[in-house]
Structure 1
Amino acid sequence: MDKKKIISELNRHKKLPHLDFRLKQDTEDFTDTLFYTLFDSNTPVAVNLELLEKKFNDLLDMACWELERPNNELWDEYVSHLPEILEKLNLDAEAILNCDPASLSLQEIYMAYPGFYAIAIYRLAHELYVQGVPLIPRLMTEYAHRQTGVDINPGAKIGKSFFIDHATGVVIGETAIIHDNVKIYQGVTLGALYVAKNLEKTKRHPTIKSNVTIYANATILGGDTVVGENSIIGGNAWITSSVPPNSTVYHTPEIKIKTTPNV
């Protein structure tokens, strides 16, 4: 074995020599600290905001991108939105408590519901996405994806009182728009009708209007697809065109039961 040659070849094939995986690890640490700052009663807010600012500046420095605004302006703008984000998250938790008969307390929702955690990290990442911060918002939501099985792109727009039940397998694309009081269940996909790089700047994912319920494993695709207010989308439905308000859409499988006679 020619060890020097192997090392040389590995270095030559490293097409992104500036790829620093500390950025990923430190983003996850930043995300945990941010979550605890907002929700943990034993975590001092004032102290942690200073700590978070340092972590945030370190992340931006590590990312090595030129941003239009200085780090401190980005952070100040972000912090100014945290009370509003927390208010929305409290509404999300209340929506879960009010909708899920299995939920026994708000404490249980904040600490044990993967859907709430995924929504929380999405909302915290979305504001950074809006400010034009590169990569870090996606690393935050991917961290939540890995822990919960819920993949929400930070670019999606989600209204108030959002409820994801059971959570696992949910996918919400970058240009999806979800209005207020929407409930979705496990396995739901809000995706693109087809994938092509030249669609990067176009709306590719559906719009879900207020008071819609989408049951397990339903798939709704396309940027022009709108699900109207107060509609119910049944489990396993496959939708690629708009649904009028106050509609019920359901998939009817053919189920056959054959019983073996007693021997």
Structure 2
Amino acid sequence: MDKDKIIAELNRHKKMPYLDFRLKQETEEFTDTLFYTLFDTNTPVGVNLEMLENKFNHLMDKACMELEKPSEELWNSYIAQLPLILEKLNLDAEAILNCDPASLSIQEIYMAYPGFYAISIYRLAHELYMAGVPLIPRLMTEYAHRQTGVDINPGAKIGKSFFIDHATGVVIGETAIIHDNVKIYQGVTLGALYVAKNLEKTKRHPTIENNVTIYANATILGGETVVGANSIIGGNAWITESVPPNSKVYHTPEIKIKTAPNV
């Protein structure tokens, strides 16, 4: 097959809707600028907010190519929420500092903890998700997912003082609800019990109430599953039904140790 035929065949099979992958790259640049605007001491907030508005409008032009563009007041409404988002993120950072004995300073939390970064990008994306912005919030959280190993859907609802330790492998689904002062360790999944497209508008992921700790590799599934306040979920637990408040749930594996003689 000659080159012209190859090109023709590629174009014939290119049946996807309008895709401009610059949207992905530019969303990642927007996300970085937004993060630095909130946290970097040397970044001028006023100058960057104007830059971010231009970037955002450019992104919206691409993201809404085949959709109705949301109100022009959206950006002003969004930046009005930034002080509250920053206040929540500062509480998240303090929760990590207070809970993790390995943390040496608050600066270390902001600059080196992947869990904090993932939570930050989630909170920034969540407000856009709630405002009905298409695609951009998901691109933001997937950017954080790629960098941290933490997959938080921007539709999830997460309360104050949230702590993710070690981060890698955490999955939090779109309809999950997490209340205040919750601690989650690596490998935890807050997922759906069933996966079917007709469940798109239903609550598929669990609710975690106040002051719950979920240890590594626990899996909690189902939209009707509620983990009651002040409960502790042990590592590797598999939960598909509700847990009463003040409970401890644990999985006990059978461990056998054989020591070779005369070694």
TM-score (norm 2): 0.98
Secondary structure of 1:91's counterpart equals helix
Consecutive aligned runs of 4 or more in structure 1 exceeding 2 Å deviation: 65-71
Q: Distance in 1 between matches of 2:155 and 2:239?
A: 22
Q: CA deviation at 1:17?
A: 5.3
Q: Distance in 1 between matches of 2:61 and 2:75?
A: 13
User: How many residues were matched structurally?
Assistant: 262
Q: Distance in 2 between matches of 1:195 and 1:172?
A: 15
Residue of structure 1 in register with 2:50 after alignment? 50
Deviation track 1:205-257 (CA, whole Å, cap 9, x = no partner) reads 00000000000000000000000000000000000000000000000000000
Q: Distance in 1 between matches of 2:196 and 2:18?
A: 28
Q: CA deviation at 1:94?
A: 0.2
| 1:204 partner letter | R
Residue of structure 2 in register with 1:12 after alignment? 12
Q: Is there any run of 5+ residues in structure 2 with no aligned partner, and where?
A: none
Q: Distance in 1 between matches of 2:159 and 2:17?
A: 40
Q: CA deviation at 1:69?
A: 3.5
Q: Is there any run of 5+ residues in structure 1 with no aligned partner, and where?
A: none
Q: Distance in 2 between matches of 1:85 and 1:244?
A: 31
Q: Distance in 2 between matches of 1:69 and 1:175?
A: 23
Q: Distance in 2 between matches of 1:24 and 1:32?
A: 13
User: Are 1:66 and 2:67 matched, yes or no?
Assistant: yes
| 2:89 partner letter | L
Q: Distance in 2 between matches of 1:119 and 1:186?
A: 14
Deviation track 1:43-67 (CA, whole Å, cap 9, x = no partner) reads 0000000000000000000111434
Residue of structure 2 in register with 1:31 after alignment? 31
Q: CA deviation at 1:68?
A: 5.7
| 1:203 partner letter | K
Superposition map of 1:246-261 within 5 A: 246-261=246-261
Residue of structure 2 in register with 1:87 after alignment? 87
| 1:257 partner letter | I
TM-score (norm 1): 0.98
Distance 1:202 1:17, change over 3 A: closer
Residue of structure 2 in register with 1:115 after alignment? 115
Q: Distance in 2 between matches of 1:82 and 1:194?
A: 35
Q: CA deviation at 1:10?
A: 0.4
Question: Contact conserved, 2:30 with 2:52, CA < 8 A, in 1?
Answer: yes
How large is the Cα RMSD of the aligned pairs?
A: 0.9
Q: Distance in 2 between matches of 1:116 and 1:91?
A: 11
Sequence identity of aligned pairs in percent? 85
